[in-house]
Amino acid sequence: MECATQKCSKSNIKLVIIEKNTTNHKSTSLIVTILTKFHAGYFRISLSLGGQALLWKTLIIEPTKDTNTLRHMFHMLPSSVFIVLWSLSLFILTLLSILYLLRCLYFFKMVKSEFLHHVGVNYLFAPSISWFLLLQSAPFIAPKTITYLILWWLFAVPVVVLDVKIYGQWFTKGKRFLTTVANPTSQLTVIGNLVGAHAAARMDWKESAVCLFSLGMVHYLVLFVTLYQRLSGGDRLPVLLRPVFFLFFAAPGVASLAWESIVGDFDTFSKMLFFLSLFLFISLVCRPALFKRSMRRFNVAWWAYSFPVTVLAMASTNYAQQVKGTVSHIIMLIFLALSVLVSFSLTVITLINSKMLLPDNDHPTASLLIV
């Protein structure tokens, strides 16, 4: 009887060990699956949430000279609404950043493949842009503090390094000169500089702000002409990537905000950039057939709709504050409503289709085509 009991106990111990090993293997396999399918394109989500946080800080927290009743209604909203949104944005961005750091550590070859891809390389600017947005909207970090300064440098250095690499290739006609690799996502390289300029101007670093603004705008003009004349391989853009066409009006929208922060006023040049952004938005909205095929099945690329609309909402808010007219406030209200609707809808759709965020048929190399 004692021998039988000992045999049973040994078999039970072996069974427990096997079950633990199986569980550990499944956990490791899940982490590996996530890291291999994850890519920089997922930072679209943090771009959207960060933009919303900055928008609502402008509406609820920051003082305004606008005497319109609508603005006073927004100021009456509890600040806790903004705090919750900012905290959610911080959590999502931190989670995405940790995942991408792990991907860099354990699957560096895949990160290198992103860098060498004509679309994937542009989304390497997205983490820095997201952190810049959260830094500017942070409720507990004042712009003229040492903490703000250190964080600004931490986020600005990757942008400048990527500038030197990417813009250098465009300028010297290296392996990937502009007319070959330019596509709508290339505008993220411009937006990275402009958001950095906006953040620098908030702490009165005018020289740094002008430097980044000039880098962004000069290359934006070159890029815009290249894309406008169809000189690049933009037609090779996958159907699923059609939502990134919204970046066409995001770049001038961010530029108008950056220039206002530099000169301290929403002047004529800021208005020109805002009107350009508004025109490009109308041009794209009037062509729904362009996006029809990309909307058949949920993909993380859908988040590309949100950030540009939020930028236009912020620019329209500043425009309404400067002009102080009925029409300008109607425009502001339209884009505020559209921005909230798009962001909220994408959040709900993403939660419903969470299993499709990392599709099983999305090969790590092929995933670069749908970032």
Domains of the chain by residue range: 1-37, 39-370
The neighbour count for residue 254, using CB atoms within 10 Å, is 32
- Cβ(370)–Cβ(241) below 8 Å: yes
Residues 60, 321 contacting (CB under 8 angstroms): no
Single out the residue of 121, 151, 122 nearest to residue 134, CA to CA. 151
DSSP category for residue 232: S
pLDDT at 241: 86
Single-letter amino acid code for the residue at 332: M
CATH topology of domain 39-370: Glycosyltransferase (1.50.10)
- The residues near 57 (Cβ < 8 Å, ≥ 6 apart) are 82, 86, 136, 137, 139
Q: What is the pLDDT of residue 8?
A: 53
Q: Are 319 and 328 in contact (CB under 8 A)?
A: yes
Write down the pLDDT at residue 32.
Answer: 79
Return the DSSP state at 265: S
CA distance 35 to 179: 32
Distance from C-alpha of 89 to C-alpha of 134, rounded to nearest angstrom: 8
pTM, to two decimals: 0.88
Helix (H, G, I), strand (E, B) or coil at 287: coil
**Token pair of 82, please?**
């903004």
Q: What is the Cα Rg of the chain in Å?
A: 23
CA dihedral in degrees (100, 342, 55, 51; nearest 10)? 20
Per residue of the chain (371 residues), give pLDDT as tens: 545 455 555 555 554 444 555 555 555 677 778 888 888 999 999 999 999 999 999 988 877 777 777 777 888 888 888 999 999 999 999 999 999 999 999 888 988 888 888 888 999 999 999 999 999 999 988 888 999 999 999 999 999 999 998 888 887 766 677 778 888 999 999 999 999 999 999 999 999 999 999 999 999 999 998 888 875 554 567 788 889 999 999 999 999 999 999 999 999 999 999 999 999 999 999 988 888 888 888 888 899 999 999 999 999 999 998 988 889 999 999 999 999 999 999 999 999 987 777 765 444 344 443 33
